[in-house]
Amino acid sequence: MEYLTGFGRPIGTCAPRAAFDTDAPRLSLNGVWRFRLAPSAAEAADGFWAPGFDDSGWSRLPVPSSWPMHGHGRPAYTNVVYPFPLDPPHVPTDNPTGDHRLVFEVPAAFEGLGARLRFDGVDSCGRVWLNGVELGVTQGSRLPAEFDVTAALRPGGTNVLAVRVHQWSAGSYLEDQDMWWLPGIFRDVTLLARPAGGVDDVFVHATFEPGGHGRLRVDGPPGATVSIPALGLAGLPAGVAHDAGPVEPWTAETPRLYELVVATATETATLRVGFRTVAITGGILTVNGRRIVLRGVNRHEFHPDLGRVVPIEVVRAELELMRRHHVNAIRTSHYPPHPAVLDLCDELGFWVLDECDYETHGFETVGWRGNPSDDPRFAEACVDRMRRMVERDKNHPSVIMWSLGNEAGVGANLGLMADWARERDPDRPLHYEGDRGCAHVDVYSRMYATHAEVDAIGRGEDHGPHLPFILCEYAHAMGNGPGGLAEYDELFDRHPRCQGGFVWEWLDHGIRRPGGDFAYGGDFGEPLHDGNFVIDGLVFPDRTPSPGLTELGAVYAPVRLAVRPGEVTVRNRYAFRSLGGAGLHWSVTVDGVPSAEGAVRLPAVAAGQTAVVALPHAPVPPGTGEAWLTVHAVAADGLEIGSGQVQLRAGPAPVAVSMPAPRREGGVIRFGAAEFEPVHGRLTRLGDLALPRGPVLDVWRAPIDNDRLGPDPVAGRWRAAGLHRMTHRLLGIDLAPDAVVVATRVAAASSDRALLTWYTWRPVDRGAELTVRVEPTGGWDVPLPRLGVRLELPPDLGDVSWFGAGPGEAYPDSRTAALIGRYRSTVDDLATPYVYPQENGNRADARWLTLTGPDGTGLRVEGAPRIDFTARRWSTPDLDAARHRADLVPGDRIHLHLDHAHHGLGSAACGPGVLPPYVLRAEPATFSVVFRALPGSRGRR
């Protein structure tokens, strides 16, 4: 088994070539195979490759598959570290080995033709036999491998394919990406007929020239002809450059594809091609001569039930979801995806940074000693990987840059990979984030640079290379967050050299468990793992959007609207598309209820241009309600491409009423509709509504991942300060003629820091206004997680309405997507089901909210003038203690938080923390809210 330690080199595979369709016979070998798993390579019994071998006792397994997802062995997750000793090229003796067998009939159409067997992905190493004949060994998990099977194949007869897959091989040292370790034949297996004199390979060079003409050269087999029927091009000789005449260019915004036919006497290949020119001009990355901005995401290939196998309809749906959120770029982190993904990128329109299947990050833990990137014995495997990616994907217009890999340190082998790619494909720039000096690459790339650093780079103060700057990873989307997206986007808008980046990352890689829960690292008993660091996406594992995606969609929106009474300034941020055909939908609302609405057509604002558009006259109806003008820009296909709003009239202030002075009566304090208990001074009743627990100051939140993780987690400082166990001591209750004033000292055990807190209650119609004054004493050097009050309500008040920001979750540094309006939801639906439970669900800037039961009775809260709120069926300590969704069990109370302020989200789990304006400092503060009991349908609302 020397091949396992052969420094990652495949054996017996054919020269790599492009993936495309031809009219030659092909046979998919996907389906149900026979499977047997052995705990080590040595314990896997030989001889199963013999055609006559009896596999009837083996399991059945779908191919493609990741076998641990089908009950064989277990998944394991590590981020940086290798799950085996750093001892290249050796691999563990305990090396799960899966033997696969398939008996299949080959149609007679294969008779007399050559044939190849293609594997699109085998993790990590596969030894292959056909009809008992050994073909060779694949390595390079996320790359194709083809074997010539002309001699071994039996056309028109029964054939037996046997594949022995080892989880670990020397190639595993080159595949230390942050993801689950999941062995298997996880991509398609196909038998391809290869006619002699056929179209083995094609390299399309289709550029868009300044005058609007396409230029076309198709490198193919000698004597082949090239046609593009839609352009009237027919029978052009291959290998020669042609003027293709006027063409519509391909861009991610206008993904115009043409069908191209390459024919020889024996085979006809059909490809979809796009004309586009990628260039770096004056330090700027351009396509077709224009600066582009990468509004991107990092995309891994993962499915919560299937592992590394992602059905193509799932891919299409997720790419469409990206498009609806204005994602225009994908980095294929950190390996080439299934080839069909790139077909979809061509079709739907994405700028793709295609990344090689190469990462050796775990060597960082030993100071990069022995890093394969600088080990000549791995040189051949490194270049082989680059070659296989470039050859496979070279015809995709969507692929605008090649990436050598991710986090593989530095070393000569990276230079060899770059040299090979540059020589083979001079038309695409090269990327590798680890090449800080940009010796081998064409763009300066960084991950998780702070806003300040990006700004400095944009201003040219970094003394770095004068190359286009991109963030190959930024805004770590782990759990609740990221915060600070809008501020990055503003820098990409401001500085020509800052050409965007790719949010880390698209998808939570959770593994589905019964009951709607998802597993992460450690849930399979892995001795070494990185917990929920694999749950860091903009969409949940089942690809439902998290609030982070909604925010990203608003930030990435191609159209910016600056709304003023009667007019809108429209800024078109597309690089290529005009706004012709799009419209503005506007509405005037009073207290969230529309009083007038309409639509106007947008002029054809050209890419990059701004126009002022007048709106029809729509006066605000007389009265006192808060009025807003809201405008949505909508593309011809109905997609919202931007929005904005302006307040036209502020709402009224709450009116205090005079009531008889507060009094003590039967052991309680009464004041208007309000009743208080005398021990803590807490509100216990409001009219008919009994409160299980009245409002009390709260500063704690269940730490989000961005609070918990990173080099200096703020949650550690919060816990040390005791913010999760604050106690409340009553200093006194003062019954003034017009107010009840409750003075308290809020502090943690063993701390001399305190928040002196005064609750001043004044009567209003059917309720009471609470003014909270907080004064920190004793020297606070930690920010507060939140500043507000919490109270508990009966469980039946589950219907929620509000007038404020919505409809989704919003926090101070993540609220671009929230618009002021009137919204309805339920307590259950307000919660965001983060895979790793943490603070969530805040609705910002409520003017008022109601929580009501089926009969309409309940509570109305008014911000005076605004308040954030969160309502859920479990307490903050419950949320803090939970580790999976299933740990959160609804209790018999609704826990309502009314917050004056929140600490921001940031993205400190991996990257910068909360930006200064969003840090919630412990400072003197005063805020007010009004509580009114709602009598339900029996009474007035």
Residues making contact with ligand GAL (CB under 6 A): 79, 178, 334, 406-407, 447, 473, 476, 504, 533, 536, 910
CB 497 within 8 A of CB 457: yes
640 catalytically annotated: no
Is 862 catalytic? The answer is no
Nearest-approach distance from CB 272 to ligand GAL, in angstroms: 31
Which one, 360 or 928, has the nearer CB to ligand GAL? 360
Query: Can you state the angle between helices 379-393 and 339-348, rounded to 10 degrees?
Result: 40
Closest residue to bound ligand GAL by CB: 178
When computed from its CA atoms, the radius of gyration of the chain, rounded to whole angstroms, is 32
Catalytic hit among 175, 359, 473, 487: 473
Query: Of the two residues 482 and 812, which places its CB atom closer to ligand GAL in the complex?
Result: 482
Angle between helices 379-393 and 412-424 (to 10 degrees): 30
| CB-based burial, 281-315: b 16+ in 10 Å, e otherwise | eeeebbbbeebbbbbbbbbbbbbbebbbbbeeeeb
Tokens of 926: 């005063």
> SS3 string of 777-831?
ECCCCCCCCEEEEEEEECCCCCEEEEEEEECCCCECCECCCCEEEEEEEEHHHHC
How far apart, in whole angstroms, are the C-alpha atoms of residue 330 and residue 323? 11
Residues 475 and 909: their CA atoms lie apart, in Å, by 10
> Which of 81, 619, 681, 781 minimizes the C-alpha distance to 361?
81
Least distance in Å: CB of 145 to ligand GAL?
A: 25
Question: What is the rounded distance in angstroms from the CA atom of residue 613 to the CA atom of residue 493?
Answer: 22
Of 334 and 897, the one with the shorter C-beta distance to ligand GAL is: 334
**Tokens read off for 596:** 């007038």
118 or 476: whose CB is closer to ligand GAL? 476
What's the min distance (Å) between Cβ of 708 and ligand GAL?
A: 14
Task: Give the H/E segment covering residue 554.
Answer: helix 547-555
Task: Write the DSSP symbol of residue 706.
Answer: H
Which of 473/487 has CB closer to ligand GAL? Answer: 473
For 749, half-sphere exposure in the C-beta direction (CA atoms, 13 angstrom radius) is 2
Minimum CB distance to ligand GAL smaller for 362 or for 558: 362
CB of 561 to ligand GAL, least distance (A): 34
Any idea of the CA torsion for 454, 459, 461, 467, to the nearest 10 degrees?
A: 80
Helices (H) and strands (E) in the chain, counts: 11, 59
Whole-number minimum distance, CB 872 to ligand GAL, in Å? Answer: 28
We find the least distance from the C-beta atom of residue 406 to ligand GAL, in angstroms, to be 5
In terms of CB distance, is 505 or 845 closer to ligand GAL?
Answer: 505
Q: Which is nearer to ligand GAL, 482 or 703 (CB)?
A: 482
749 and 725 Cβ atoms separated by less than 8 Å: yes
Residue at token pair 């009950």:
71
Contact by Cβ (8 Å): 915, 811: no
Give me the sign of the Cα torsion angle 386, 391, 393, 397. Answer: positive
Q: Collapsing DSSP states into helix, strand and coil, what is residue 18?
A: coil
Q: Which is nearer to ligand GAL, 442 or 473 (CB)?
A: 473
Of the candidates 175, 267, 359, 407, the residue annotated as catalytic is 407
How near is the Cβ of 305 to ligand GAL at its closest, in Å? 22
Q: How far is the CB of 79 from ligand GAL (least distance, A)?
A: 5
Q: Could you tell me the smallest distance in angstroms from the CB atom of residue 359 to ligand GAL?
A: 8
Copy the structure tokens of residue 760.
């001043």
Active site residues: 407, 473
